[in-house]
Amino acid sequence: MASSTLENQAADGWTPSSWTTKPIKQDVAYDDKEGLKNALVKLQRLPPLVTPQEIVNLKNSLRNVALGKAFVLQGGDCAELFDYCNQEMIEAKIKLILQMSLILIWGANKPVVRIARIAGQFAKPRSSTTEVINGVTMPSFRGDNINGFDPNPDSRTPDPSRLVSAYFHSSATLNYIRAALSSGIADLHSPLDWGLGHVITPQIKEKYEQIVSRVTDSLRFMRTVGLDTARGIETVDVYTSHEGLMLEYEQSLTRLCRDPPNAVPKPSHATSNTTTSQTTPPSSSSSHYATSSHFLWIGDRTRQLTGAHVEFFRGLANPVGIKIGPTMEPTELVDLLNVVNPDKEIGKVTLISRYGASKIASHLPAHIKAVQESGHLPVWQCDPMHGNTRSTPSGVKTRRFTDILSELRQALEIHRAQGSFMGGMHLELTGEAVTECVGGAAGLTEDGLGERYTTFCDPRLNEKQALELAFLVAGFYRDRAAEEGDVNAM
């Protein structure tokens, strides 16, 4: 696509590069300016990684989540590495998300929208731009698409060719996800083949097998009555997502595209301010789609109302997330929604709340109230990870399973009490048997953290903890449904 098309001036001054005129947080300073230019030119020529049709499918599903008709499960690594681009690790993560979603469908009695933090979750915001290792000051590790983890100033220098590498690693990961899904990795006829890791406790295994046996029974019945012929049982949708932190990268992969037929027609001012456009049929409208992944979010550290990230995000047709923590004021939250989603499209914005178990009760109620009064209907998603990070006495970053569960339970109850929906959860997890978060049925203690602590950023739930959490959250829904006398849930 010609860059002149990309730079088409929208009515309200937004262009894919208008963010460059705003103050930016968490910026990366490249010494190699020529290298950066070449990398971005290359990225602009490469094909989109995902299509508007897929993006709009996700947006339509998230609309259902906002309306309380579906649940969204989002999860994956805190920092994805190029090294994770291998069959085993991709499969482990996708299977875990599939298993968790099956448990949640059973629990919440709703369809589950699956979004992985994968195929692009490389860039990380950091609290400090530099760190001292063995007495040497060097730039902090900012993620595989920016610099190397090796603790020496050379590897830590931002290298623009890593942006192109990020594209190709995203592309290879996504290709394998697509291939695995279309080859039946998610086939509901054999959810036991999705394979539970050997570390699963017998109780979890038994519960999981019970759900699978109910699903298998239903499928057998459908086959008997001849309803098992439609496509849909052999595969599911898994969408990709990452934090939209590196705006140079995102801009290069943002394309002006014709809106697909499944797009909800938008008000005229979104494409043009001329009166003729008001009668333009929706099929001939076009929008800017970030095509690096289906869903992008703004981090808690880059969500300033007048900053570069909010400016970039407000022009995208994708569904987008905004992380909100304890420092967010209710009025600021509404201002932000008005900027990012002026048309109040239902489910276009996912508010990813991450206050911490001890703070959620004093922040979420006012946030929900302000949003309800504003007339916006976002997806409310609980991220029970980022407000619950703590250090052990010996300085290891960890999270307690009980805090994670507590924040989720409180989120559910608070939403319910205010006539709102907790539409989903956002987790940092991995299909590997890591030892990074403490607690869970296997009783991982702080002393055991050193065993397989492999994260390059925040501590993740391991497979066992993630499945256990899915069962517990499913249990909250089933208990409540039973209290309310919903016979389907018994």
78 touching Co ion, by CB under 5 A: yes
Least Å distance, CB 169 to ligand PEP, is: 18
Q: Residues of 117-139 as b/e, b for ≥16 C-beta within 10 angstroms?
A: bbbbbbbbeeeeeeeeeeeeebb
117 known ligand binder: yes
For residue 391, what is the DSSP state?
A: E
* Distance in angstroms (rounded) separating the CA atoms of residues 191 and 241: 24
Which residues are CB-contacts of 183 (< 8 A; sequence separation ≥ 6)?
none
The token pair that represents 91 in the structure block: 């499969």
386 known ligand binder: yes
Which helix (H) or strand (E) segment is 298 a member of?
strand 295-298
420 with 373: CB under 8 angstroms?
A: no
Q: Where would I find the beta strands (DSSP E) of 325-470? A: 349-353, 379-382, 389-391, 397-399, 424-428
Find the part of the chain contacting ligand PEP (CB under 6 A) among 61-69, 182-190, 293-301, 448-456.
Answer: 293-301
| Candidate list 80, 159, 300, 436; residue touching ligand PEP; CB under 6 A | 300
78 touching ligand PEP, by CB under 6 A: yes
By beta-carbon proximity to ligand PEP, the closer residue of 56 and 434 is: 434
By beta-carbon proximity to Co ion, the closer residue of 78 and 449 is: 78
By beta-carbon proximity to Co ion, the closer residue of 52 and 325 is: 325
307 touching ligand PEP, by CB under 6 A: no
Which residues are CB-contacts of 224 (< 8 A; sequence separation ≥ 6)?
none
* Distance in angstroms (rounded) separating the CA atoms of residues 428 and 119: 15
316 with 289: CB under 8 angstroms?
A: yes
Q: Under rule CB under 6 A, which residues in 441-460 are in contact with ligand PEP?
A: 458
Residue 125 binds: one of ligand PEP, Co ion, none (C-beta under 5 to 8 A by kind) = ligand PEP
Residue 371 binds: one of ligand PEP, Co ion, none (C-beta under 5 to 8 A by kind) = none
Return phi, psi of residue 137, to 5°: -85, 130
Q: Residue with CB nearest ligand PEP?
A: 299
* Distance in angstroms (rounded) separating the CA atoms of residues 24 and 21: 9
By beta-carbon proximity to ligand PEP, the closer residue of 78 and 85 is: 78
* Distance in angstroms (rounded) separating the CA atoms of residues 270 and 200: 50
* Distance in angstroms (rounded) separating the CA atoms of residues 200 and 196: 7
By beta-carbon proximity to ligand PEP, the closer residue of 80 and 259 is: 80
Find the part of the chain contacting ligand PEP (CB under 6 A) among 19-27, 101-109, 295-303, 333-341.
Answer: 295-303
By beta-carbon proximity to ligand PEP, the closer residue of 106 and 312 is: 312
Which residues are CB-contacts of 126 (< 8 A; sequence separation ≥ 6)?
26, 140, 141, 142
386 touching ligand PEP, by CB under 6 A: yes
299 touching ligand PEP, by CB under 6 A: yes
126 known ligand binder: no
Nearest to 428 by CA among 363, 471, 384: 384
337 with 314: CB under 8 angstroms?
A: no
| Candidate list 63, 354, 409, 464; residue touching ligand PEP; CB under 6 A | 354
Find the part of the chain contacting Co ion (CB under 5 A) among 6-14, 32-40, 70-78, 99-107.
Answer: 70-78
Residue 300 binds: one of Co ion, ligand PEP, none (C-beta under 5 to 8 A by kind) = ligand PEP
354 known ligand binder: yes
Q: How many residues of this chain interact with Co ion, rule: CB under 5 A?
A: 2
Q: Compute how many other C-beta atoms are within 10 angstroms of the C-beta atom of residue 401.
A: 22
By beta-carbon proximity to ligand PEP, the closer residue of 144 and 300 is: 300
405 with 384: CB under 8 angstroms?
A: yes
Residue 159 binds: one of Co ion, ligand PEP, none (C-beta under 5 to 8 A by kind) = none
Find the part of the chain contacting Co ion (CB under 5 A) among 75-83, 149-157, 256-264, 270-278.
Answer: 75-83
By beta-carbon proximity to ligand PEP, the closer residue of 42 and 301 is: 301
Residue 311 binds: one of ligand PEP, Co ion, none (C-beta under 5 to 8 A by kind) = none
Q: Under rule CB under 5 A, which residues in 404-463 are in contact with Co ion?
A: 458
Beta strand pairing call for 379-382 and 424-428:
parallel
- State the residue for tokens 């995000």: 313
Q: Residues of 466-482 as b/e, b for ≥16 C-beta within 10 angstroms?
A: bbbbbbbbbebbbeebe
Least Å distance, CB 206 to ligand PEP, is: 33
Find the part of the chain contacting ligand PEP (CB under 6 A) among 161-169, 297-305, 342-350, 482-490.
Answer: 297-305
301 with 327: CB under 8 angstroms?
A: no
Return left, alpha or beta for 119; rule: phi > 0 is left, psi -120 to 50 is alpha, else beta.
Answer: left
By beta-carbon proximity to ligand PEP, the closer residue of 303 and 314 is: 303
Return left, alpha or beta for 266; rule: phi > 0 is left, psi -120 to 50 is alpha, else beta.
Answer: beta
Three-class secondary structure of residue 390 per DSSP: strand
Q: Under rule CB under 5 A, which residues in 458-487 are in contact with Co ion?
A: 458
Q: How many residues of this chain interact with ligand PEP, rule: CB under 6 A?
A: 10
By beta-carbon proximity to ligand PEP, the closer residue of 107 and 423 is: 423
458 known ligand binder: yes
Interface residues toward ligand PEP, by CB under 6 A: 78, 125, 243, 299-301, 323, 354, 386, 458
Question: Residues annotated in the binding site for Mn(2+), as ranges?
Answer: 78, 386, 428, 458
Interface residues toward Co ion, by CB under 5 A: 78, 458
Question: Residues annotated in the binding site, as ranges?
Answer: 78, 117, 323, 354, 386, 428, 458
